[in-house]
Structure 1
Amino acid sequence: MAERKIDLIKTETRNVKWLVDNMRNELLKVDNSFQRQYVWLKKHQVKLIETILLGYSIPEIYLWGIDTDPDNGDTVYSIVDGQQRIGAVVDFIEGKFNLSVTSVAEKDASYANKHFSDLNSDEKKAIWDYPFSIRFIRQEFVRQDIVTMFLRLNSTNLSLNPQELRNAEFDGKFLKLAEELSNLNFWETYKIFNQQQVRRMQDIQFISNVLIFFRQGIEGDTTQTNINRVYDLYNETYEEYDDDKNLFNSILNEMEKFFKSTDEKIGEFLSKQTHLYTFMIITYYILKMHGEVKEEHVQKVSKFIDAYENTSNSNLFTTKILSDIAEYKKLSSEGTQSKSKRMRRIQIIKSVIDI
């Protein structure tokens, strides 16, 4: 009888000392194709360390053996699930954060507001000796088996959203381009995504939707089903990779003219993701028709925002356009994933700024 998958996994206990030593010796590798780069918020880090100090249990960790040194026997493991937990422990021991009293549950505890170096001997020992339950996956597992297991592991875990699951399932060119574009300074400069949204890969999904527009036009769905379909379609072959990358960069470069306008309300308005998506598409059309965003476009967007904020301002536009802007405002507050509503928002802006 064929060997069962479960027979290739063994559960053992390792303490924090083992985890820290293996991280420092680079024997534990973070695999971002399963989970995104370690970006837990401090409050989550603090909660984990406090859980250890209080002696409560922590969910098990999954490590996949990917290579063994034939000379010394050291095995290198890929962290399939648990990188945030391991990273928090290592960072705390290395003094990168303290147990701020605002985040701990036990406000009067002796460890509140302390770094690891400030803890008493018993508290330090409690951390070093804390036992983690680890599922060791043997090297005989192939990567597709690991992906399948990870997806099954998290299929009933509401903490993982569709984009995080896509990140584990796909490793092709479409995802790689979205990840590459997410590292551009634009997002941080104009505070488009907060740290929590970045951790949950909402920036990757937003960028993916813009790339889907490039491939499928304005009628392309932004539903999770269609995003999965596009990831699959362009997973291995994505001939437009460079063209889409250059186009995306061109749009952001032109968008900066809006953000750098002396009219500060434009940047504040466009930093909201619903509006940003719409105006990235609008900028795409401006580039196609005019080659660049001109001052007249910036001024019309400024007038549009004034009317958006006060739709009774009859001095700015005709009654018909003011009515359209009021409709845009309503559509922006409703379900933003609706294809018809998204298309109508873009149609309204195109008419307002005359493109």
Structure 2
Amino acid sequence: MERNPTVQHLTWFLDLRRFGQLNISPSYQRRSVWNPKDRKLFLDTIFKNYPAPTIFLHRDTDENGRTVYNVVDGKQRLETIFMFMDNEISLDKNFGDTNFNGKKFSDLRPEEKKLFFDYKLVVDYIDNVNGESLNSIFDRLNRNSKNLNEQELRHAKYSGWFIQYVEDDLLDSFWTEYKISTPAKARRMKDVQFVSELLIIILENRIAGFNQDYLDEIYAKYDNVTEEDTDESEVDIEGLKGKIGFIKQYIKDMERANNCISKFFTENKAFYILWAVIALSDKKSLNNPEISAEKCLEFFNRIKSGATNDKEIADYNQASTGANTDLSQRETRYNIISKLFLK
């Protein structure tokens, strides 16, 4: 890999954006994860002329000589610069100077804007990628700096059918309705990680204890699967989609019956078992959703009553505390809950 570090004024990036030559969100990039406090701190860095980490770009020139710069690392910093320029964010109200406290870009005087425009950023160009994909380079940069969590690294590294399906499916309001996806979870891709676990139950036909290395193995295993090569990969993608649709509908029908899902199953530890029981049971052996809903309501009301002489309740409660994502804990809860769903 050839690298060519240099220094550019902040205005160089503004020009690239203006002329459509900056791709701030290539496929391997993560979602925007900086919160307002992070962005204000970076603006503080700029206006006080503190150094900032290097921004890595991949220069891509087409046959007509038009160059586009893909942001390999530095998206959050550049996003903050552009948001400030567009008056979407402001400096911290406690910046420490009345000329800058809480100001937006449009509030600044020309000489104050010049401090912003004259700020210099170190830029490292990645020109030739010899035998290593940009996804892998992005992965390496962020593993070294520990900026990304494990799921964000998977998003950067893998691009096959499995991860695409999971991320696309999270657009379904089903996941927000039952609080499996929330703005906080989505910000660091925790929702993607959990829904991946749910789909793995179907793909592997079993439950598993939570393990980041295991998730990496599954992502690698299904990374090259496409809808056109199901024979080779031995994955029935259409069957998988049908199963997911069935599980979602069953859960919706249970909720419609007595609101038991929103009452008792919105925590990940409970929803995982709910999904697993439906996914791993033969359809013919499952109760009607309304019956399962009624039995779940009765079971969780027993828990709420605080019965101390009920071994089944005691076992369920014990398996729901501490390391509740361990396989043994999940198996205990699965065996208890499955009785409520089977004829």
Q: Aligning the two structures, in what range does the TM-score lie when normalised by the shorter sequence?
A: 0.7 to 0.9
In the alignment, which of 140, 157, 160 is matched to residue 172 of structure 1? Answer: 160
Q: SS of the residue aligned with 2:53? A: coil
Q: SS of the residue aligned with 2:165? A: helix
| 1:304 aligns to 2:299 (yes or no) | yes
1:316 maps to which residue? none
CA 1:143 to 1:330, structure 2 compared with 1: closer, same or farther past 3 Å? Answer: farther
1:123 maps to which residue? 112
- TM-score normalized with structure 1 length: 0.83
1:113 maps to which residue? 102
Would you say how many aligned residue pairs link Structure 1 and Structure 2? Answer: 335
Amino acid at match of 1:29: N
Q: SS of the residue aligned with 1:13? A: strand
1:245 maps to which residue? 241
Q: SS of the residue aligned with 2:4? A: strand
Contact 1:266–1:305 (8 Å) recurs in 2: no
Contact 2:24–2:71 (8 Å) recurs in 1: yes
1:9 maps to which residue? 3
My pick for the range that moved more, 91-100 or 57-66, is 91-100
My pick for the range that moved more, 271-280 or 297-306, is 297-306
In the alignment, which of 46, 51, 64 is matched to residue 58 of structure 2? Answer: 64
Amino acid at match of 1:81: D
Contact 2:158–2:223 (8 Å) recurs in 1: yes
Q: SS of the residue aligned with 1:156? A: helix
Shift of 1:58: 1.7
1:19 maps to which residue? 13
CA 1:100 to 1:252, structure 2 compared with 1: closer, same or farther past 3 Å? Answer: farther
CA 1:99 to 1:291, structure 2 compared with 1: closer, same or farther past 3 Å? Answer: farther
Give the Cα separation in 1 of the matches to 2:151 and 2:131. Answer: 19
In the alignment, which of 46, 71, 85 is matched to residue 79 of structure 1? Answer: 71
Amino acid at match of 2:193: Q
Amino acid at match of 1:237: V
1:257 maps to which residue? 253
Residues 1-355 of structure 1 aligned to structure 2 (within 5 Å): 5=1, 8-68=2-62, 70=64, 73-99=65-91, 101=93, 106=95, 109-138=98-127, 140-141=128-129, 144-237=132-225, 239=230, 240-260=236-256, 263=259, 266-285=261-280, 288-289=283-284, 294-312=289-307, 322-355=310-343
Shift of 1:168: 2.1
Give the Cα separation in 2 of the matches to 1:21 and 1:335. Answer: 51
- TM-score normalized with structure 2 length: 0.86
Amino acid at match of 1:125: K
Contact 1:38–1:84 (8 Å) recurs in 2: yes
Contact 1:287–1:293 (8 Å) recurs in 2: no
Amino acid at match of 1:131: K
CA 1:60 to 1:246, structure 2 compared with 1: closer, same or farther past 3 Å? Answer: farther
Give the Cα separation in 1 of the matches to 2:323 and 2:267. Answer: 15
- Cα RMSD, aligned residues only: 2.7
String of CA shifts for 1:319-353, please: whole Å, max 9, x gaps.
5xx42223222222221331121121111111244
Contact 2:254–2:289 (8 Å) recurs in 1: no
Shift of 1:76: 0.5
Contact 1:177–1:245 (8 Å) recurs in 2: no
